[in-house]
Each structure stands twice: as C-alpha cells, then as structure tokens.
Structure 1
C-alpha cells in the first residue's frame, strides 16, 4: 500500500486515537457499498458515509450514517436545531470541507463543523469512514470519532416505506 497521510489521519494521531488504514481500487466499473466492503474485507454495515449540509441559518453541518442508508433531512434539521437543511452543492465541497467528493472524512475538515453520527454507530465498537482521500478508508473506535469531531449521535435515517404495510 502506498504511503498515504491525510488531514484526518494527522488529527487522529495528534489526539492519540488509533485507526487502521484500509484501501480499495478505484479501477472498478462501479464503486458500490458492496464493492468497497469486499475490497477492504469488512462488513458493509460498518462503513459510514459523510454528508455535508447547510442550514437555513447558513451554518454547515456534517452527518455520518451507514453507506447503505439515506439521510432524512427533516431529522437532520431537528438534530441541528435548524428550520431546514439541504445538501451542499458538490462543487462547494472542497471549499467548505477541504475534501473532494468520494473522499470526504468527518475528521480533519477545514473547520470543526457540528457533526452528527446516526445512532446506529453506537452499536459498533469501531466504524469505517473515509480517510480523506478517494480509495482510502479508516477504521476508528466510535468513541474516538466522537471525540475527534466533538460529535453527537441522533436518529438520522430515512424511514423505509413498505408497500406491504
């Protein structure tokens, strides 16, 4: 594995929070959650994505949830104390977070934004988030992520609606 060092990794090291660096090939036709899990040899349920949003106040917020789930913007707004929240334009991601699309880590952003993890993160000792560069992930103790990002947990998931109910 090529020697990689990202802002996320530096911040974790500065705070003495252990992590494991994992990588996957970007050469696949489709980078799906299942592909990433297979490549890194971990369960897909432990892989979390990072979503950057903006509230009606103009403040930015970060939300982390399982890669296979969908963020409920109403629940996100409630957690952040905003009237409403929307996803930021992906073209603004580098300017706001300091990371590019596909490599956005909740750790080590340009600013320490209010960060929320879906409550399901607490059912794992360690979860996997982006290392801050496409093709790289880091497995970190949940408590370490909460500490490094001053994160909170909340119910953030979109409810699935069954046609059989």
Structure 2
C-alpha cells in the first residue's frame, strides 16, 4: 500500500508520541472494526472506532469506543450534560471532519471539538485508531491521545 500522508499522520508526526502504523487491505463492503481486527491481527478490544455525533445545538462531538461495542447515546448525552445526542448524518461526515466513513480519525479533524473516549481505553497499554483513511490504523498509547486531544473519559458503551 502506498502510504499517503493524512491529516492524522501529519498531526501525530508533530507530537513526541510513540506510534506505529498498520496498513491492511480494505474491503469496501465491510468497513467494520471487526474486519480491521481480522485484517491486522489485532485484538478487537484494542481497536477503537471514531464516531461523529451532534448535540441538540448541532455542535460536533467526537466519540471513540472499542470496535466490538456499541455507543450508548443516552449515557453519552448524560455524561456531557446534553439533552440528546445523535449520530452525524454520513453525508455530512466529510464536510464536518475532513474524513470519510471507515477512515475517520479523532486526530487531524478540521478543528478541535468536544471529544470523549470510553474509559476502557485507560486499561490498555496501546490502542489502534484510524489513521485518517481506509486501510490505515495508528497504534498509540491511550493517555497520549487523551492528553493531546483533551478528551473526556467515561463509560459510554452499551453493557
């Protein structure tokens, strides 16, 4: 795979973080985190997907959760003190984040937004997040990601 520098890669290169790049063959019919786990050989509990949401004021929120889990919208709204949150329409993802579905990274989004990660990340030595394009993952220490993006941590997945 010819590695194209994404916004996420350019931004992480400016930090002092240890990170590794994983590439994998993309299946356009299956962009799931589970497929990423299979293709990279990395445990699904260490692969974090990036979700883009809106609150009732239509402000963008970025949430990262383990790839095999589902976001609990009610928990997320409560933790962030919003009346409600909803998933961003996929048609608006590129315009709001600079990324496409299956390649949305919490790093390198056009401008900083309220970001949150499920607190399960705190128990991991390293996690994988999207590197800003399909077929590209960044392995990073969760605390580095959390500190860099000033992310909140909370239990935000359906149990």
| Normalised-by-shorter TM-score class | over 0.9
SS for the counterpart of 2:75 is helix
| Contact 2:103/2:131 (8 A) holds in 1 | yes
Query: 1:135 matched to which residue of 2?
Result: 135
Query: 2:15 matched to which residue of 1?
Result: 15
Which ranges in structure 2 are unaligned for 5 or more consecutive residues?
Answer: none
1:80-99 Cα offsets, whole Å, 9 max, x none, are 22110000100000011110
**How far 1:35 moved relative to its partner?**
3.0
Which ranges in structure 1 are unaligned for 5 or more consecutive residues?
Answer: 160-165
Against the structure 1 CA distance between its residues 57 and 29, is the aligned structure 2 distance closer, same or farther, given a 3 Å change threshold?
Answer: closer
| Contact 2:33/2:49 (8 A) holds in 1 | no
Instruction: Give the total of aligned pairs.
Output: 159
Q: Please give the root-mean-square deviation of Cα atoms over the aligned residues, in Å.
A: 1.5
User: What is the distance in 2 between the residues matched to 1:32 and 1:54?
Assistant: 22
| Contact 1:57/1:82 (8 A) holds in 2 | no
User: What is the distance in 1 between the residues matched to 2:88 and 2:27?
Assistant: 27
| Contact 2:115/2:152 (8 A) holds in 1 | yes
Query: 1:52 matched to which residue of 2?
Result: 52
Query: 1:110 matched to which residue of 2?
Result: 110
Give the TM-score taking structure 2 as reference length.
0.93
1:2-61 Cα offsets, whole Å, 9 max, x none, are 233111111111122221110111147644434321321211110010010000122111
Higher Rg of the two aligned structures: 1
